[in-house]
Structure 1
Amino acid sequence: MNIFDKVVEILSPERYLRRQAARQAIKVLNSGYSNHGASKTKKSLLGWNYKGGSPDDDITDNLDILRQRSRDLYMGAPLATGALKTYRTNVVGFGLRLKAQIDAEFLGMDPEEADEWEKTAEREFALWAKDCDATRMMDFYEMQALVFLSMLMSGDVFCALPMIQRPGNPYLLKISLIEADRVCNPPEITDERVRGGIEVDQYGAPVAYYIAQKHPLDKYAMGKNKWIRVPAFGEKTGRRNILHIMEFERPGQRRGVPILAPVIETLKQLTRYSEAELMAAVISGMLTVFITSNTPETPLGESIPLEQQIDTADQNSYELGNGAIIALAPGEDVKEVNPNRPNTAFDSFVTSMSRQIGTALEIPHELLIKHFTASYSASRAALLEAWKAFRMRRTWLAAKFCQPIYEEFLIEAVARGRIKAPGFFDDPAIRMAYCGAEWHGPSQGQIDPLKEVNAAALRVKEGFSTRAREAAELTGSDFERIVRQRAREERMMREGGLTGGPTGEEVLAVPSVDNEE
């Protein structure tokens, strides 16, 4: 019992009893997490503003600010720019390439027929991919990179699938990319089912999208903005009209969150710090002085000749020139200023902060700043950890963007008779069997190529992988084309009498050298 309780007990016994009863109630209530992360009494947690809301309250209502700050960081913060471009380059690179993989057994095809069908589908898809952009600015593979980068930067991106006739193009299907800001609520909409420009049904499934004809942030847009309500699916065919490309982090979420959202403040403050250090370093490279005067009412000394001055409009500007000699008036003195820059702790501090940023973005510090100084094992471990995230997002992009569009392409190609697919429109299971595909992107890259090749050969030998997959992963090449090209080259070598090169077994037997420095 403290002194205050003793005083209360003497002056007001009833109040003292109430206080003791309240203390006992708190002891009963405080159990489990209430003693730790959920405590409302610990001083270390009293200042924590932890209040949250629904996915729409926490995410949708804050997206305008998050998007604009994320884009601003991309345009002006080197670490943010590097992080997003690192993702784009490693996940998409030159584009995810189609490798048709139909279910030949279910469709009753022999391997030769299946191979021929797949080659035809890939050939037709390559024809369509060259002119699939509604704006006629990009091919399908460039659009993949833009879709992925826009999703990372803005949180999500939308794709409309209009049918546009163009001379010389046998396909009508096109892709129209819509930036996230254009999908928003019209001012007159008050229906609670519509938030963030997306109307949902009782189960939370999208019913329609409200798309602004003009970008809401376009300051030069003339006239009143108008919105178009686009149904999510066709009423008769069930065809998907809009692809919504986003990553989910909460059930019931309608809109995506920019990947930089958790580190926006850290990136901005680190950028400010870097700019301040840069400016300080620039200033320290100049002769910076202060002039002290006992007669402040009179002008300071004799300045640089008028014709050599830079800022003549500012009467309070005093300038120094190369090798200039400036006379000082009586009572004036010069004192130098040394800002002690560059700061010796700058690099270690930025490195520490970039590690935290990389952790949040799933990019190891070494890859984030493109600086590999550790051993082979450590560098490879960092690269492998990063590729877990890259592969996950590559699979996600293929499933959310590439595969749905490939299926839409096949529908038109089969309907037009350019690809023969019996039963395609009769049974959804048959259609799914025809739509099977893999999407291969750029390879991971190797720190020690010989070790990587040895590992790939062992995976193929033990049946853990195929030559086609390993060729795509290691070099981004098509194994069948490699075989055909090698057959021609070997034939040319024999005809030219150039034989006797090392065999594959001899090459693989050469030991690699670790760099463990």
Structure 2
Amino acid sequence: MNPIDRLVEYFAPQAALKRHAARQVLAYYEAARPSRKRKFYRDNAGPNRQTEQGAVPIRIQARHLEQNHDLTRGAIRTLVNNVVGPGGIGIEPQPRRADGSIHEEYANILLEAWRDWSRKPEVTHRHHFSKVQRIAARSWIRDGEMFAQILPGRVPFLDHGTRVPFSLELIEADMVPFEFTDEGRGIRQGVQLNQWGRAIGYWVYKSHPTDGLRFVSQRDLKFVPASRMLHPAFIDRIGQVRGVSEFASVITRLEDIKDYEESERVAAKIAAMLTAYVKRGNPDLYDPNALPRDEEGNPLPREINFQPGMVIDTLNMGEEIGLIDSKRPNPNVVTFRQGQLKAFAAGLGASYSSVSRDYDGTYSAQRQELVEQWVHYAVLTDDFVGDFIQPIWEEFVNVAALSVAPVPADVVPGTENDASYIGQSMPWIDPLKEAMGYLRLVRAGFASEAEVIRKRGRNPKDVLEQISDFRKRAKERDLTLDSDASVSSSTR
């Protein structure tokens, strides 16, 4: 209580009580009280109830926009390219010896087997592994989730096609039915859960439910153990079983942008078709008999063929030519579109410059946007690696150990599948400034050459081998490179 309240309480306890009650009434969150001017949403359903109601319709709308809206397709491509990239997420094996050093021989064997497997990693043999990553990331971002079944060893009617008997089966979200729920058996939205809510298996259609001529029912489901299923998903709430599209919060804005742009485009197209009319003045000057008529006496429409520099001298008394102006193109379209695209990019987590292809601005502004935005891409990459890439690599090493790459005795148990996962590097806006910055960090001892190489999205070992081989070949031809001169001068 403040001094005034204490004084009132001393002389008039009842008044002090009323003051205290009034203050309690005023002590509330304005955001928790609806008003006439502000909507108040009272949907307090659990996470899985909300996904049951909205995940599938949102997924359908996101797919429709990807197919029919250039901005949506470009935004998805931007996210996929920055998460996976042209060469996919790289893997650098790091099995350890007892002294903590990397077992180079075993790492090389694993890497060689991995390169062979990456040519045909999935059951159809249509996609190499970097393309598999892009397909998986696209489905994950657009649909909110995707599935992949791990198929190790001998599988009936399956030809792995690689030295390591291991394949992936990519599965769309539609294949695991949202509507399949049986609380008595612990099944929620097609996922079998134990008493702690952990997934122990998935119920999957044997064929796509909407891609064939035959009606598919729940009798066509098969059970896949969770140990053989990967399930990257966007999870917003604790306890949520299935994922929801990243476009959930921006679909309405995207549809509005699409409709608005189409309306403005049609209006501008109509405005480009020059339309004129004949304006008549005083009605007393109007002579209907002066209008051209056909043989039966019916008035004929007047046609005036416009040509550059023409002179119209066929107008009657009191007539003049008028042009219809639709005020199109609208000069405010660009400003409005920029504002909407910035909000869309912020909600989706993509870069505005990349989504809109608007690269105006200074070097500092573009780099600031890139630095802040790259955190979002890095988070998505981390999620994708943890849910998709890392489990695949660990299972690959386990299968390879039983086939073509036995684990050496001097590898510390549990480290045989250790690896460094190399995502996409942040691109350089000004290569000279970026290179000089890294050079100063390395020379000052604040960064290593291997760290710089990894930040550029390369494998340090591969770079060293390429440099060594190139210099060896150059020396055989008696060629001196600038890099050799800089190395020799720095070692003196």
Do they superpose with TM above 0.5?
Answer: yes
C-alpha separation in 2, matches of 1:376 and 1:150: 34
Moved more, 456-465 or 476-485: 456-465
Contact 1:232 1:242 in 2 (8 A): yes
1:206 Cα deviation after fit: 1.1
1:263 and 2:250 aligned: yes
Equivalent position of 1:116 in the other structure: 105
The AA in structure 1 aligned to 2:120 is D
1:195 and 2:178 aligned: no
C-alpha separation in 2, matches of 1:377 and 1:436: 39
1:204 Cα deviation after fit: 1.2
1:435 and 2:417 aligned: yes
1:489 and 2:470 aligned: yes
**Which among 40, 44, 51 is matched to residue 59 of structure 1?**
51
C-alpha separation in 2, matches of 1:216 and 1:338: 53
C-alpha separation in 1, matches of 2:298 and 2:178: 62
1:251 Cα deviation after fit: 0.3
C-alpha separation in 1, matches of 2:299 and 2:392: 73
C-alpha separation in 2, matches of 1:256 and 1:299: 70
The AA in structure 2 aligned to 1:122 is L
**Which among 127, 136, 141 is matched to residue 152 of structure 1?**
141
1:386 Cα deviation after fit: 1.4
Contact 1:161 1:241 in 2 (8 A): yes
1:185 Cα deviation after fit: 4.7
The 1:35–1:443 alpha-carbon spacing in structure 2 relative to 1, beyond 3 Å, is closer
- What are the within-5 Å matches in structure 2 for residues 169-248 of structure 1? 169-185=162-178, 189=182, 191=184, 193-218=186-211, 220-225=212-217, 226-233=219-226, 240-248=227-235
The AA in structure 2 aligned to 1:448 is D
C-alpha separation in 2, matches of 1:363 and 1:300: 62
Contact 2:345 2:355 in 1 (8 A): yes
- What are the within-5 Å matches in structure 2 for residues 305-344 of structure 1? 336-344=323-331
Three-state SS of the structure 2 residue aligned to 1:161 is strand
C-alpha separation in 2, matches of 1:158 and 1:460: 42
Three-state SS of the structure 2 residue aligned to 1:57 is helix
Contact 1:209 1:231 in 2 (8 A): yes
1:176 Cα deviation after fit: 0.7
C-alpha separation in 1, matches of 2:160 and 2:368: 52
Three-state SS of the structure 2 residue aligned to 1:430 is coil
1:368 and 2:332 aligned: no
Moved more, 54-63 or 271-280: 54-63
Three-state SS of the structure 2 residue aligned to 1:406 is helix
**Which among 79, 83, 93 is matched to residue 75 of structure 2?**
83
1:154 Cα deviation after fit: 0.2
Equivalent position of 1:39 in the other structure: 33
C-alpha separation in 2, matches of 1:202 and 1:26: 47
1:131 and 2:120 aligned: yes
1:335 Cα deviation after fit: 6.1
Three-state SS of the structure 2 residue aligned to 1:74 is helix
Three-state SS of the structure 2 residue aligned to 1:371 is coil
The AA in structure 2 aligned to 1:371 is D
Three-state SS of the structure 2 residue aligned to 1:394 is helix
1:250 and 2:237 aligned: yes
1:468 Cα deviation after fit: 2.8
Contact 2:91 2:419 in 1 (8 A): yes
Equivalent position of 2:40 in the other structure: 48
C-alpha separation in 1, matches of 2:181 and 2:277: 61
1:205 Cα deviation after fit: 0.9
1:370 Cα deviation after fit: 2.3
Three-state SS of the structure 2 residue aligned to 1:104 is coil
1:287 Cα deviation after fit: 2.2
Equivalent position of 1:99 in the other structure: 92
- TM-superposition CA deviations, 1:164-187 (whole Å, max 9, x none): 442753332111111111211566
The AA in structure 2 aligned to 1:68 is I
Contact 1:80 1:260 in 2 (8 A): no
- What are the within-5 Å matches in structure 2 for residues 374-385 of structure 1? 374-385=361-372
C-alpha separation in 2, matches of 1:167 and 1:155: 29
Unaligned runs of 5+ in 1: 1-22, 234-239, 305-319, 509-517
Three-state SS of the structure 1 residue aligned to 2:56 is helix
The 1:507–1:171 alpha-carbon spacing in structure 2 relative to 1, beyond 3 Å, is same
C-alpha separation in 2, matches of 1:203 and 1:53: 20
Equivalent position of 2:426 in the other structure: 444
1:387 Cα deviation after fit: 0.9
Three-state SS of the structure 2 residue aligned to 1:435 is coil
Equivalent position of 1:513 in the other structure: none
Equivalent position of 1:311 in the other structure: none
More contact order relative to length (CA 8 Å, sep ≥ 6): 2
Equivalent position of 1:357 in the other structure: 344
- The alignment of Structure 1 onto Structure 2 pairs a total of residues equal to 448
The 1:394–1:351 alpha-carbon spacing in structure 2 relative to 1, beyond 3 Å, is same
C-alpha separation in 1, matches of 2:269 and 2:249: 32
Equivalent position of 1:68 in the other structure: 60
Contact 2:181 2:188 in 1 (8 A): no
Three-state SS of the structure 1 residue aligned to 2:327 is coil
Contact 1:199 1:209 in 2 (8 A): yes
- TM-superposition CA deviations, 1:226-260 (whole Å, max 9, x none): 43242434xxxxxx111111122110001111111
- TM-superposition CA deviations, 1:410-444 (whole Å, max 9, x none): 111111253334499xxxx823x111111213332
1:51 Cα deviation after fit: 2.2
The AA in structure 1 aligned to 2:30 is H
1:155 Cα deviation after fit: 0.4
Equivalent position of 1:455 in the other structure: 437
1:478 and 2:463 aligned: no
C-alpha separation in 2, matches of 1:483 and 1:232: 43
The AA in structure 2 aligned to 1:472 is R
Contact 1:260 1:361 in 2 (8 A): yes
Equivalent position of 1:279 in the other structure: 266
Contact 2:140 2:232 in 1 (8 A): yes
C-alpha separation in 1, matches of 2:159 and 2:271: 62
C-alpha separation in 2, matches of 1:256 and 1:438: 27
Equivalent position of 1:3 in the other structure: none
Equivalent position of 1:409 in the other structure: 396
Root mean square deviation of aligned Cα: 3.7
The AA in structure 1 aligned to 2:129 is F
C-alpha separation in 1, matches of 2:487 and 2:305: 71
The 1:321–1:200 alpha-carbon spacing in structure 2 relative to 1, beyond 3 Å, is farther
Equivalent position of 2:482 in the other structure: 501
1:217 Cα deviation after fit: 3.4
1:162 Cα deviation after fit: 2.4
The 1:28–1:340 alpha-carbon spacing in structure 2 relative to 1, beyond 3 Å, is same
1:281 Cα deviation after fit: 1.1
The 1:466–1:500 alpha-carbon spacing in structure 2 relative to 1, beyond 3 Å, is closer
C-alpha separation in 2, matches of 1:167 and 1:351: 49
